[in-house]
Chain A
Amino acid sequence: MIETLSREAAIIGIGSTEMRNPDGRSGMSLYMEAIKNAMEEAELTKSDIDGFLVYPPNGSMRFHTELTEQLGSANFGKSLCDFPLVGGLMVGLAVNKARSAVFHDQCKNVIVVGGGTWRSSSHRTPIGLSGVDLSESIYHSREPISMEYEFPYGLHLPALAAMVTQRHMQEFGTTSEQLAAIAVAARKHAALNERALLRTPISVDDVLSSRMIAEPLHLLDCSYIADGASAFIVTSAERARDAVQEPVWILGSGQAQSFQHMGHLCRGSDSEFDLVRTVGKIAAGQAFTQAGLGPEDVDVAELNDSFTTTVLLQLEDYGFCAKGEAGDFVADGRLELGGALPLNTHGGLLSEGDNGLGNSIPALIEAVTQLRGDAGERQVEGAEVAMVSGVSESLSSYSVALLGRN
């Protein structure tokens, strides 16, 4: 067993919906299915759940009471309801908060749930600008974009990531072929995951010949928009010992924020943080310190891959390789099953699907599955430590959780 400092709380249940929503169900409907699946797996009843950390699928600041209505009939004494409204970076924050709540006896069992209807509720344009395989919503997500100083220039999320990528290429000589290797690995893993939406294997050439979205990012460098919800349940160390499922321990977590407007990180190389030297370094550093572990201890990494670039930055800033060397690091199948650092073994946002708000939870679900040894054909043999991350859409803010096998 690995030696670690921190085993205060554990994940004892996971649940998901499909990543598709052909019947146009509401976000609430998807959430309740994911929650039910997690509770049934953990053999918990409505009265066992007394904490919620939720991303309101309908944007309602009353969502916690709507949720309590549905799960409160046996016991309205829910003592934690909160909204980790930090976009793609939700997972580490939620893990941290849930861990604290059960450790301090504020709650017995906390459910974290997120997801949404990003694809089915997207705005489709009449002339089909997006082509066939990418919904409009990634272009229409305005959350991180200033409507005063940025949107008037025609900015969308891929363009933001493209400008970060361009800078990485300029400073470190990173190539489009290297970025493509990240998408190829994700797709290879998705082929082994029935839940994944895109399962046909692709080559580096397929990525490079896919439509240019914003130079240097191609269509297949961008996440694939989906619908769906996922949930997990956190409980205290004491309760985890009696859990039905093999508990997966929370070993550490961390988070760090930086810019809202990306101009603030367009600095010189004399600055510690800029567009390509992210505060992910702080988030991962906190998690590793709490866990008493380092990058070399991570057996499987389920990292946010909103764009291929997002993975590239994290590999460097989390310490898996030196700054500027991720392009070389991802070559030769290192991120693929059987490689030195299997990454996004479920296919990630690039190939399993990107369900929008709370899109970092599916990565945690996969990490738990791997640590339980339940990943079937895509199992990483002997996986004891997994890293999970969430990253904001603008690649500016990061959260990390380290999970460990029982």
Chain B
Amino acid sequence: MTEVLAVLCMPLAGAVLLAIVGARSLGPLINVGASLATWLASIALTIRVAGTGPMLVADKLFFVDPFNVFLVALTAFVGFTTSIFSRPYMQIEQRHGRLTAARLRLYHSMYQLFNFTMLLALLTNNMGILWVALEAATLTTVLLVSLYRTPESLEAAWKYFILCGVGIAQALFGTILLYFAAEKVLGAGGDALLWTELNSVKGALEPTVLSLAFVFLLVGYGTKVGLVPLHNWLPDAHAEGPTPVSAVLSGLLLNVALYAVIRCKVLVDGSLQSLFAKELLMGFGLLSVVAAAFLLSRQKDIKRLFAYSSIEHMGIITFAFGMGGPIANFAGLLHMTVHSLTKSAIFFAVGHAAQKAGTQMIDGIRGLITVSPVIGWGLALGSLAILGMPPFGVFASEFLILTSAMREQPWATPLLLLALGVAFAAVFSKVQPMVFGEATVARLPHRPAMTPVFVHMAIVLVLGLWIPPFLADWYRQAARLIG
């Protein structure tokens, strides 16, 4: 109880405090402090759940099980490292004249609120509140995407707002249909939207209604996951927003949206007793992987490049959950973790590289390794890891996904392999000259924050070589739950 409240209250208190403190030099420190407190609270929650098993708190309002507790810990951790990265990054941006003090206040406050909405979405037991929290997550990030007020960033933010708004409206309709089906079994009132209640009676829910509801829910939350063909907002929002925002959007928000889809999938699977939901997930996942892989080679902007790579990886994870079964689900959960860590690390490195070069265009960034070996190596290692090179964790999860695809869905394996190959060629050929080419980049007025990058990469490396038993055990429990 106290742990859940602490996890939710820390970012909320941080948001209020930062709105008051504003852009004084204390601001970034409070931001780091609040994120650290959230992370510590999430660790306490994790230890608690590891000891007592799944728990319901506050009159069944919140629900913690192995599936969401590891996502809570991951979200709080990446939120914390991103806040460390954001301190020097935003100082440099301010020095470059891209930000005013008032906007920095908005940025810090909204950053904490955004973390709050994601943690609320993960912890709530009520499918309606889940919707509210995800919509609130969109709202808090819209003004962050348009933080620089350039024409491009305004366009990106508008697209983000409208597309995700419409998408999430579909999800609301899906939630209404879910409630409609649940009400017949559980009776009217607040309980009929509680996930734990729904899960216990999922076999009795009306299948026709649930299949229609799932289509709406998948389209709705799938827009936020960035599944092709609903992905249009994603590259724009990632490329035009400040880099810390790109890092948390890509590393965290996509995961949380996918979490919502999976929670719905569990209910629909139980009700339908058919492959309907699985086939939809596999279809959308595969389409995203293939389409994103081929779009990668056309990118000229480095942040757009990695935004498309996020679409590709979310596609892989969606496909894995679509296949289902203990191994594929395990791999999907592992991939969620390593993608989140690797991608945010890459965005940190890319952000500093773009600041050095004064441009986000790939052609304008050359020879990072000679001017700043740390950033160069960070970007090179991150790219190799995200492309699935051993011994990093992404290799392990992709290997598991591919082998279970060979066994269960052999038709999909060539497509997946082709997409991974194309993605490798595209990203590698673009990143290689950025790191090793003739140097064009300049010095920075502040020391770049590269510690988070290497911490993330170290964790990804460890996960590739050896998964700690408690983590593996969680993944297994969560995988069983997903079915």
Indicate whether A and B interact. no
